[in-house]
Structure formats: C-alpha cells, structure tokens
C-alpha cells in the first residue's frame, strides 16, 4: 500500500509572506528533484497568470486553474510528488475533498492562502486545512500603523475612514459590496487596495 502524503499549510493575512514561503519551498523541492505541480488560481490577475508572484515582484511559473475539479484533473496528468497551491481560498470549500484524495494517493500537498477575510472572519477552506494538516505555518504581516504583528488585512478606504458609515459604499468598486468570503476579484489587490493591521488597529469589522 502506498504511503499517504503530507499536508502543509501556509496561512496568514495579505502581505505576510505566504507566496514567498511557498516559492522557497517549491525551489527547494525542485533542487531535490521532486516533481512539483505549482497551481495558481486564474482569478488572480495581479500579474501574468502563469506565475505566482509575491508583493516583492519575485515569481515562479505556475499553472492557472479555475476550480478544484480542474486541479484534480491537472494533478492526474503526470506522476507528481508534490502539489503546491497558491491563494487556495479562491478554490473554495470544494478544494478540501480534492486535497484529501491527493494525500490518500500519496502526494504531498502545500496549501497556501488567506485564513482571514478583509472583515476579520475565518476564510474557508484554510481553517479546515489547518485543522488536519501535519504542519501549519501561520504567518503575520507588519501593521502599517504601529509595526506590530498584523493578523488582519483590510481595505484601504475602510482603514482611512473607519468612522464614516458610508465609506464601504462610496469609496469602493461595485464588487466590494459582495460578501468577504465571496470567491471573486474583490480579494485581489496589493498595497493600493489593502493594508495589514494588528488587532488594535484593525477597523474592518466596525
Ligand atoms: P502574501 O503572499 O502573504 O500576500 P507576499 O509573499 O506576496 O505575501 O509578500 C510579502 C512581502 O510583502 C514582504 O516580504 C514585504 O517585502 C512586502 N510587504 C509589503 N507590505 C508589508 C507589510 N505591511 N507587512 C509585511 N510585508 C509587507
Ligand atoms: Mg500571495
């Protein structure tokens, strides 16, 4: 019987270095001669979608896929030993059974993504993966107000005008009215759209 695979989770808010850490692990695996499939989500249009890109601009090649079923299909195309998934939250809860199947078949999986929404709520499927992983790396960013550990990220407009009740409606693009857990383009952005915040300076849930 084949040994089962190992699940590693890299989770945190935006800017916490999740993609940097995923890329570091993929590079090491490649040097070790391990056959890796690197997957990004085709919704992530911050850069060329055939790469994973960090906020520092470093990138590695990746296969952009639209849903969990396509990921399952892509993983069957070759004798991969490791599947590395960037921005896993975009794949939604359907990713959980797909990853379970890969692990049972003996593949190692690294799932990397946001474990918290921009309004401070748990962001599935990362919390579910964290519950059953062999290894969890929980990262924090740097709070843009005080420099302490940031476990949250929030929309810039909301951060600048936390007391304006209509801030969310007037200062944001139409897709911003969607729920924070919606799998859509409102979760894509960089320093121009989001800021990292510690617990004390997080105002997104107000
Ligand atoms: P993630 O994938 O978690 O969003 P990245 O790996 O893409 O993060 O980028 C992490 C990099 O972002 C850091 O090494 C740093 O250069 C940069 N950065 C910009 N703003 C912040 C911040 N507030 N806290 C931490 N890193 C930041
Ligand atoms: Mg990233």
pLDDT in tens, 61-89: 999 999 999 999 999 999 999 999 999 99
Ligand nearest to the CA of 44: 2
Q: For all residues of the chain together, what is the average pLDDT? A: 87
| Domain shared by 75 and 154, yes or no | no
Is the pLDDT score of 97 beyond 90?
yes
Q: How much is the pLDDT for 157?
A: 81
In this prediction, residue 2 carries a pLDDT of: 81
What is the whole-number distance in angstroms between the Cα of residue 152 and the centre of ligand 2? Answer: 14
Report d(CA 46, CA 66) in Å as an integer.
15
Whether residue 147 sits in one domain with residue 130? no
Report how many domains make up the chain. Answer: 2
Rounded to 10°, the helix 68-75/95-104 angle is 20
Backbone angle region of 143, left / alpha / beta, with phi > 0 → left and psi within -120 to 50 → alpha: beta
157 counts as catalytic: no
pLDDT category at 43 given cuts 50, 70, 90 is confident
> Tokens standing for 188?
């894509």
Q: Is the CB of 90 under 6 A from ligand 1?
A: no
CB of 18 closer than 6 angstroms to any ligand 1 atom: yes
Task: Give the chain's end-to-end CA distance (angstroms, integer).
Answer: 52
Q: Which residue's CA lies nearest to atom 19 of ligand 1?
A: 15
Given a contact cutoff of 8 angstroms between Cβ atoms, the answer to whether 129 and 30 are in contact is: no
Q: Which two tokens stand for residue 186?
A: 């409102």
- Based on the fold, state whether residues 135 and 179 are members of the same structural domain: no
pLDDT at 177 (0 to 100)? 38
> Is 131 found in the same domain as 168?
no
Query: Which of 110, 139, 168 is the last residue in one of the domains?
Result: 139
Q: Are residues 94 and 184 in the same domain?
A: no
Q: Are the beta carbons of 9 and 137 closer than 8 angstroms?
A: yes
In this structure, is residue 205 part of a structural domain? Answer: no
Distance CA 112, CA 18 (A): 6
Residues 13, 58 within the same domain:
yes
Percent of the chain with pLDDT over 90: 70
Range 168-193 average pLDDT: 53
Predicted structure pTM score: 0.88
Asked whether residue 46 falls in the same domain as residue 65, the answer is yes
85 lines ligand 1 (CB under 6 A): no
pLDDT of the residue at 167: 39
Residue 186 confidence (pLDDT) above 60: no
Rounded-to-integer distance, Cα 195 and Cα 108, Å: 32
Q: Can you tell me the distance from the alpha carbon of 171 to that of 166, in angstroms, rounded to the nearest whole number?
A: 8
- The pLDDT value recorded for residue 172 is 38
pLDDT of residue 6: 98
Catalytic residue (choose from 81, 87, 94, 157): 87
Q: Is 51 in the pocket of ligand 1 (CB under 6 A)?
A: no
202 CA distance to ligand 1 middle (Å): 17
Residue nearest atom 21 of ligand 1, based on CA coordinates = 15
Over range 96-100, report the average pLDDT.
98
Mean pLDDT of 173-196: 62
Task: Return all residues near 105 (Cβ < 8 A) that are at least 6 apart.
Answer: 2, 5
pLDDT single digits (tens) 127-151: 999 999 999 999 999 999 999 999 9
Does 73 fall in a domain? yes
**206 assigned to some structural domain:** no
Q: Does 185 have pLDDT greater than 70?
A: no
- The parent domain of residue 106 ranges over 7-139
Q: What is the tens place of the pLDDT at every residue in 45-63? A: 666 568 888 998 888 999 9
Atom of ligand 1 nearest to the CA of 12: 3
Q: Do 80 and 127 belong to one domain?
A: yes
Are 96 and 154 in a shared domain? Answer: no
* Cα dihedral 71, 124, 113, 167 sign: positive
Q: Angle CA(191)–CA(194)–CA(195) in degrees, nearest 5?
A: 85
Question: Residue 204 domain-assigned?
Answer: no
Whether pLDDT at 175 is above 60:
no
Question: What was the pLDDT predicted at 53?
Answer: 87
CATH number at residue 133: 3.40.50.300
Residues 31 and 123 in one domain: yes
Q: Is residue 106 part of a domain?
A: yes
């Amino acid at each position: 019987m084949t040994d089962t695979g190992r699940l590693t989770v890299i989770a945190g808010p935006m800017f916490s270095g999740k993609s940097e850490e995923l890329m570091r692990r993929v590079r090491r695996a490649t040097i070790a001669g391990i056959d890796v499939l690197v997957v990004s989500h085709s919704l992530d249009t911050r850069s060329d979608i055939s790469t994973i890109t960090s906020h520092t601009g470093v990138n590695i090649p990746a296969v952009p896929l639209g849903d969990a079923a396509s990921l399952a299909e892509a993983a069957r195309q070759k004798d991969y030993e490791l599947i590395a998934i960037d921005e896993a939250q975009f794949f939604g809860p359907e990713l959980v059974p797909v990853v379970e199947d890969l692990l049972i078949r003996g593949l190692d999986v690294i799932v990397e993504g946001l474990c918290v929404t921009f309004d401070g709520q748990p962001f599935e499927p990362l919390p579910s993966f964290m519950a059953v992983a062999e290894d969890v790396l929980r990262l924090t960013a740097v709070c843009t107000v005080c420099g302490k550990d940031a476990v949250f990220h929030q929309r810039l407009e909301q951060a600048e005008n936390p007391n304006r009740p209509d801030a969310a409606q007037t200062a944001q693009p139409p897709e911003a009215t969607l729920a924070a857990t919606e799998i859509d383009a409102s979760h894509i952005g960089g320093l121009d759209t989001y800021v990292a915040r510690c617990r004390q300076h997080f105002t997104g849930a107000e």
